Structure 1
Amino acid sequence: MNRWFPPGAATEPPPGTTRQRVRRWNLIALVPPLAVVGTALVVSEARTWWDAVVLVVGLLAALVVLERWTADDISGVAVAGLLVTAAVWPYGVLLADSPAAFYGLAIAGPLVLPRLSVRRRAAALGLAGYIAAVGATKLIQPQQDVAAVIVGYVLVPTAVVLIAIGFNFANHAFYRIMEQGRRHEAELAVYRERVRFAGDLHDIQGHTLHVVALKVMLAEKLVHGDAARAEQELREVGALVSDTIARTGELAHGRRRLNLSVELENAKNLFEAAGIRVTVERQTRVGVDGEADERIDGLLGQVLRETTTNILRHADATHVRLTLTDAGICIVNDGAPIGPLPVLGGLAVLRERLVGEGGRLTAEQRQGDFRTTATFPHPHASHPRPDREQERL
């Protein structure tokens, strides 16, 4: 039995998300075939109406466990499902003469056991032993074909259940490894972003410090022979240091102007490294000329960088859609955690800066998607700074 829905969600995923689509596919691919097979077994094995009722109850209990398994919320029905399906098996062996009565237990047991936190192997062996032992009780009835009983009531049911258990254990382990690998990729992507930040810091300070060192050495040589020139060199050193302090502060607080095209390519690389599918939709972007266009692109680049970091750190995203329009940029990711809108953090600071330049930044969470939109409604117009008392977060 295959499982396409990755583990990790504590509750049923909201409608419209990737997880909900995977859950719907699981329901379509698994529940109907198993229900049809189970119904056929009930029809062929039941000799009386009472036999049919008991076998149907076991089948329904197994299908309920399967339905909850597709939603990754099996804990509420695990015990009841196991008890009901386990009770149907001895009834089928001793009263209904139905070797297929283990069918419900063969569905529910392998789904539940991999979810146990401890003693999963012991529980698997215990389930197989229970099925074999109950099947062997058929031998206490008189006039039984020993070979047929051992094959039909012991070996076949036990083998089927062991195979299903082994497959589901392997399946569960596979998805756990995949999930861990995805988290490690996201952590690596964040680490790469930090390395890039360190590179930006080096670009700002490394060259300046080298120039400062040369100018100080020159001033030392000129201090006695050409005091005016030495004084000029020292003034330039002071100006360089002040400029570097300002640029370092801008970098530390996310106010350094960035190139939107470079940030877009970097975001794509980070998402792909984290195993997240990226879709980029480009429409004609017409900015204002000169300084204002550079300023707007820099702010949009900062929004994209901050949103990228937030997605990698806090979301369980599988798909990110980046849309560039005439007015700005929109970033939509799935896998947003269920609950109220989180604290914006760095985006709140950027919202103030966009408002100050005549723009707007919004963030909204709906049905598992998180949408961040930064726009400048009138890119060709000037950007008067609004009254901060009227424009609040």
Structure 2
Amino acid sequence: MVVVTLSVGALLIAVDARTWWQAVILSAGVAAAFVASVQWAAVGIPRVVRPCLIVAAAVWVVGALVLDAHTAFYGISVVGSLYAPKLPRHRALAAVTLVVFIALVGAARLLIAPTDVTEILTFYVLVPAGVTVVVTGSMFVGQVFYDLVEELEDTREHEAELAVVQERMRFASDLHDIQGHTLHVVKLKITLAERLLGVDIERARNELKEVRALVSDTIAQTKELAYAQRRLNLPAELENAKNLFEAAGIHVRVEREAEVDERATELLGQVLRETTTNILRHAQATYVKITLSATGISVLNDGAGTTPLSSLGGLSTLQERVADNGGELRVEKRDGRFLTLARFPSGRIDQ
């Protein structure tokens, strides 16, 4: 848009300016349109817009009443049409005021050249006002589209946050499954041991040994859960990943080239869970492609940005575990896409 604004403005100056000082004045209007176009992508109405609007309006007045330059409306038409749709309120009124102002200034030339009615009405009223109506109307349509895109983006971000919350709730549920049942059993066994103290010391001692073993096992399971090392089921993780991505508004595609070796499902499930969490938290993904093969899994997503690849985060621990079991885990980042690939070459799975 900036290139088009500047190019069209330069062409109009070349066509309409007859002297160097006319070119300077018309250039001021084009410059105002150029600056307004550069700032158009900013949120809200930048401060520079008001000076641009004043300069462009002054150029149109001088061009119509002094220079006999019917293209001098270009600057005010561009600046006004760009920012009228972005006003927080009274947008339609601003657009109508813009068109009326341009038409009235053009009609005011009749006071200077009352004999050229047809030419003035055509080139100073109808053409400038008509062009402004068309451009402003198109910008209103575009603004509606941009507002819709922004609203959809906000909705997508909220859905992604909800997906992350859902993942945390699932983690809390797993933790409850591990510790809730254990604590209930421990309570019952301690109660039983208390009753057996005065009756059967040996049996009470055995009950306490079972409690200690149960607590030790629970501690180990909790550590495994905290470090994403709990035994996972790949099909369940795949279904969970699909649900999370779809809830976040991300298109997900799953391709099964072959059935995954059952000995690799635990590690691959952990890789998929960690990758899913990373995508939801750190990427602005619109699609995810998950490919399952006989020797591994690959996850490809967009929205990875252009920043250099840094630490793997939670994947670094899994990278070591996969390597210890005869496989490899690597990531690639290129052209805004992120690839996570875990595989066991030549079917070698040392689990």
Which residue of structure 1 aligns with residue 220 of structure 2?
246
- Say which structure, 1 or 2, has more relative contact order (CA 8 Å, 6+ apart): 1
**C-alpha distance in 2 between matches for 1:158 and 1:380:** 70
How much has 1:276 moved relative to structure 2?
0.7
Which residue of structure 1 aligns with residue 211 of structure 2?
237
Does the C-alpha gap of structure 1 residues 89 and 304 become closer, same or farther in structure 2, counting only changes over 3 Å? Answer: farther
> What letter is aligned with 1:262?
A
Structure 1 residues 346-371: Cα deviation after superposition (integer angstroms, max 9, x where no partner): 01111111111111111111011011
How much has 1:166 moved relative to structure 2?
3.8
Q: Which residues of 2 match residues 1-393 of structure 1 at below 5 A?
A: 89=60, 93-94=64-65, 98=70, 102=73, 106=77, 109-111=80-82, 128=98, 131=102, 134-143=105-114, 145=117, 148=121, 152=126, 156=130, 159-160=133-134, 162-287=136-261, 293=263, 296-380=264-348, 382=350
**C-alpha distance in 2 between matches for 1:84 and 1:304:** 58
TM-score, length of structure 1 as denominator length: 0.68
Does the C-alpha gap of structure 1 residues 154 and 336 become closer, same or farther in structure 2, counting only changes over 3 Å? Answer: same
The percentage of aligned residue pairs carrying the same residue is 50
Structure 1 residues 79-104: Cα deviation after superposition (integer angstroms, max 9, x where no partner): 99989987885587455674x76467
Q: Which runs of 5+ in 2 are unaligned?
A: none
Does the C-alpha gap of structure 1 residues 274 and 103 become closer, same or farther in structure 2, counting only changes over 3 Å? Answer: farther
How much has 1:227 moved relative to structure 2?
1.0
Structure ID, larger Rg: 2
Q: Secondary structure at the match of 1:378?
A: helix
How much has 1:131 moved relative to structure 2?
3.6
Does the C-alpha gap of structure 1 residues 286 and 344 become closer, same or farther in structure 2, counting only changes over 3 Å? Answer: closer
**C-alpha distance in 1 between matches for 2:37 and 2:285:** 25
Does the C-alpha gap of structure 1 residues 261 and 104 become closer, same or farther in structure 2, counting only changes over 3 Å? Answer: farther
Aligned residues: 333
Structure 1 residues 215-244: Cα deviation after superposition (integer angstroms, max 9, x where no partner): 111111111111111111111111110000
Q: Which has the higher helix share?
A: 2
* Residue pair 1:135, 1:153 contacting (<8 A) in 2 also: no
* Residue pair 1:258, 1:298 contacting (<8 A) in 2 also: yes
* Residue pair 2:303, 2:337 contacting (<8 A) in 1 also: yes
* Residue pair 2:253, 2:289 contacting (<8 A) in 1 also: yes
